[in-house]
Chains A and B, each alone.
Chain A
Amino acid sequence: MTDGSSLDDPRPQRTYLEAISDALVFEMSRDEAVVLLGEDIAAPFGGAFKVTKAAGEKFGSDRVRNTPMSESAFIGAANGMALMGMRPVVEVQFADFITTGFDSIVQFAATTHYRWGAKVPWVIRAPADGGLRSGPFHSQNPEAWFVHSPGLKVVAPSTPADAYGLLLSSIRDDNPVIFIESKPLYRSLNGPVPAGDHPIPIGVADVARPGRDCTVITYGAMRHQATTAADLLADEGIEIEVIDLRSLKPLDLTTVIESVARTSRALVVHAANRLAGVGAEVAAVIADECFSHLDAPVKRLGGLDVPVPFSPPLEDAYRPDSDKIARACRDLCAW
């Protein structure tokens, strides 16, 4: 899979995983306050997904540090390090395990600046999402919890270039940032990534594909399902606009509202559970801000209200995909 860019693009082609690894190495070279913490991340092993292998080989175990299996303590320690002027980047081995450190994130880190003005500039990298037949505890999308907690930024890139540029910005941000990585894209997605210092600002959505008939608002791996659906629908004469939010907090609602005001139809899609997910907020804002422009109700597609099931037919039934997105768009356009 590629992210749709031209094959003769002169920029180096990197996988989504390599782009994240490159961003870590670039930022660690630029700023010695950046250290990596996590389980099994140091060289030579380099982490469960090998994202930190290059950084570990370059910077050694003093800056790419293995931690015991104690998320609560090592995320809490990241709080202390960040308060003392370091910029820790924490890997939770799977996003599913982030709950083990929940207090350290939502109670301590998220509230500190509001309560007494001190900065907690860390990033937690959370390898999330499913479709990989990994069962209930290696497939989750926990982003809504963090969007719901005041004081945290939440970023969810869907292309190698965005992963690279948004990770640079996340590490430089003075606030705690939850960086949601899409594991199904790690090695399946290639794309051009500009080498060097090219941060992408947090809080700016990307119009992944322009269209006039219906807006699909999404993020993460679902961006690619949505553009595939748009290809299918283009053959039927339906032009879908795909907006990739890229950042879930802050949300770029201006881009969403401008698009829906033009297309008059909106479908919000994410792999995370639909119920009380980020899409519910986006849909509510569209209903508020675009009411007079709408030709159809705002629709949502998301994971079902069940734990992420393991077996392929069950997980496929749980998850949105390009066919389900195409079907929902057809329904909206027939309204």
Chain B
Amino acid sequence: MPTDNIDRLLSAYRWMQLTRTLDEAIRTLWLTGKGVGGTFNQRGHEAISVGAAMCLQPDDLVAPMHRDLGAFLVRGITPRRIMAQQLGRATGVSGGRDANIHGCGDLDFGVIGFISHLPQSLPVAVGAAMAFRHRHEPRVALTFTGDGGAITGLFSESLNLAALDRAPVVIVVEENQYAYSTPIATHSANVDIAARARATGVEAIDIDGNDIEAVLTNVTAAVGSARDGEGPTVVVAHTMRMLGHAIHDGAEYVPAELLTDWERRDPVDAIRATLEVAGHPVDQLDEIDSSTLATVDDAVEFALASPWPDPSTVESGVWA
């Protein structure tokens, strides 16, 4: 494997391991009663969120959703700020105004704070891309939605708008087989999301969402095509949501054998195996793991020690 490929994969490994470790720390806090409200895990989505965000330039824009912890991290939002956000602290990204990873936006890092009505990020990304195109700026917007989001009217409407404008936007659909408790075959009469996107007039491809190299290669191509004025692309990344919809959800409705199958395709294990096979020293990978753990421990400590927001500020910030 060429050195620059190894370097890129190594970088992806760092981000994916950080994403996985931070996600597990969030889960531990909630399962030990230290959480505030509900929260979401993203286990299984690391290759998609990290890989897609790594394909962007600093001036680009990303509108992640609740399975895209990796995208927030790659853009530069620190584990400390994310953990404080999770715990509703003044030091969190939204200062305690929005919950868990929602509203975790910061335009200094080119990140949109999503709302629970997840498909709303689609037209926002399309509109941002329309603005880039209108001003002749070489920038790209990228957003994520799920198989549930892809069955909404807003998905079709946004794709149509993007196609009409040849907007420089990439839409990554994280097809993780379930919309809450409903399997894709139950909520989508046509489970071929890429075909539905193509029928709307947008280029679309299917990729293995657990394969970081597939994500990096294909999203890089889609982002490049958008930047070159070739219009939007939908990338349907197939994966599996390995935990419940949210922290309260044991996902007993998911067949155990399905999870066992996908556990064997774990994206973090897979990238590590790839690096090991390519001859990358194992002790260096272990070192990444231990420094990642230290970063996450620090974030938890920081968040738990952070002040609560001042209730006298509850009415401030409604107006710009």
Interchain CB contact under 8 A, B126 and A80: yes
Alpha-carbon gap, A84 to B122, bound state (A): 15
Alpha-carbon gap, A248 to B61, bound state (A): 35
Q: Does B70 contact A (CB under 8 A)?
A: no
Tell me the nearest residue of chain B to A112, going by C-beta: B113
Residues on A with C-beta less than 8 A from B171 are none
Per-residue CB proximity of A58-86 to B under 8 Å, as 1/0? Answer: 00001000011010111111111111111
- A:109-129 near B, CB below 8 Å: 111-121
Alpha-carbon gap, A80 to B318, bound state (A): 19
Asked whether A79 and B161 contact (CB < 8 A) given A72-B153, A107-B115, A116-B97, the answer is no
Q: Does A136 contact B (CB under 8 A)?
A: no
Interchain CB contact under 8 A, A175 and B131: no
How far apart are B164's CB and chain A's nearest CB, in angstroms? 7
Asked whether A118 and B126 contact (CB < 8 A) given A103-B117, A108-B115, A108-B120, the answer is no
Interchain CB contact under 8 A, A107 and B117: yes
Residues on A with C-beta less than 8 A from B319 are 113, 151, 175
Interchain CB contact under 8 A, B161 and A107: no
Interchain CB contact under 8 A, A72 and B112: no
Q: Does B42 contact A (CB under 8 A)?
A: no
Interchain CB contact under 8 A, A174 and B320: yes
Interchain CB contact under 8 A, B94 and A73: no
Q: Does A35 contact B (CB under 8 A)?
A: yes
Residues on B with C-beta less than 8 A from A112 are 105, 113
Chain B CB within 10 Å, residue with most, of A70, A76, A77: A77
Interchain CB contact under 8 A, A115 and B105: yes
Residues on B with C-beta less than 8 A from A104 are 120, 123
Interchain CB contact under 8 A, A86 and B105: no
Interchain CB contact under 8 A, B128 and A114: no
Q: Does B93 contact A (CB under 8 A)?
A: yes
How far apart are A120's CB and chain B's nearest CB, in angstroms? 8
Is the interface on chain B under 10, 10 to 19, 20 to 34, or 35 or more residues? 35 or more
Interchain CB contact under 8 A, B158 and A118: no
How far apart are A10's CB and chain B's nearest CB, in angstroms? 37
Residues on A with C-beta less than 8 A from B160 are 68, 70, 73
Chain A CB within 10 Å, residue with most, of B115, B123, B131, B319: B123
Q: Does A12 contact B (CB under 8 A)?
A: no
Q: Does B33 contact A (CB under 8 A)?
A: no
Interchain CB contact under 8 A, B317 and A113: yes
Alpha-carbon gap, A111 to B117, bound state (A): 12
How far apart are A312's CB and chain B's nearest CB, in angstroms? 36
Tell me the nearest residue of chain A to B131, going by C-beta: A84
Per-residue CB proximity of B69-105 to A under 8 Å, as 1/0? Answer: 0000000000000000000000001100110001111
Alpha-carbon gap, A85 to B134, bound state (A): 12
Interchain CB contact under 8 A, A117 and B126: no
Chain B CB within 10 Å, residue with most, of A80, A85, A111, A120: A80
Q: Choose among A35, A103, A114, A121 the residue that contacts B318 (Cβ–Cβ < 8 A).
A: A114
Tell me the nearest residue of chain B to A85, going by C-beta: B131
- B:186-224 near A, CB below 8 Å: none
Q: Does B53 contact A (CB under 8 A)?
A: no
Alpha-carbon gap, A108 to B114, bound state (A): 8
Residues on B with C-beta less than 8 A from A68 are 157, 160-161, 164
Q: Does A150 contact B (CB under 8 A)?
A: yes
Q: Does B130 contact A (CB under 8 A)?
A: yes
Interchain CB contact under 8 A, A115 and B97: yes
Interchain CB contact under 8 A, B115 and A72: no
Asked whether A150 and B122 contact (CB < 8 A) given A70-B160, A86-B134, the answer is no
Asked whether A116 and B153 contact (CB < 8 A) given A73-B161, A76-B127, A103-B120, the answer is no
Q: Does B125 contact A (CB under 8 A)?
A: yes
Residues on A with C-beta less than 8 A from B61 are 84
Alpha-carbon gap, A297 to B122, bound state (A): 50
How far apart are A31's CB and chain B's nearest CB, in angstroms? 13
Interchain CB contact under 8 A, B117 and A108: yes
Interchain CB contact under 8 A, B131 and A150: no
Interchain CB contact under 8 A, B94 and A80: no
* Known interface pairs A68-B157, A76-B158; 16 further A-B residue pairs with C-beta atoms within 8 A, sorted by A's residue number: A62-B134, A70-B160, A72-B123, A73-B157, A73-B158, A76-B120, A80-B126, A80-B127, A84-B127, A108-B120, A108-B124, A112-B105, A113-B317, A115-B113, A118-B113, A150-B318
Can you list 12 contacts pairing A with B, beta carbon distance less than 8 Å? A72-B154, A74-B123, A80-B128, A81-B130, A84-B61, A86-B131, A113-B319, A114-B318, A115-B97, A115-B102, A115-B113, A119-B320
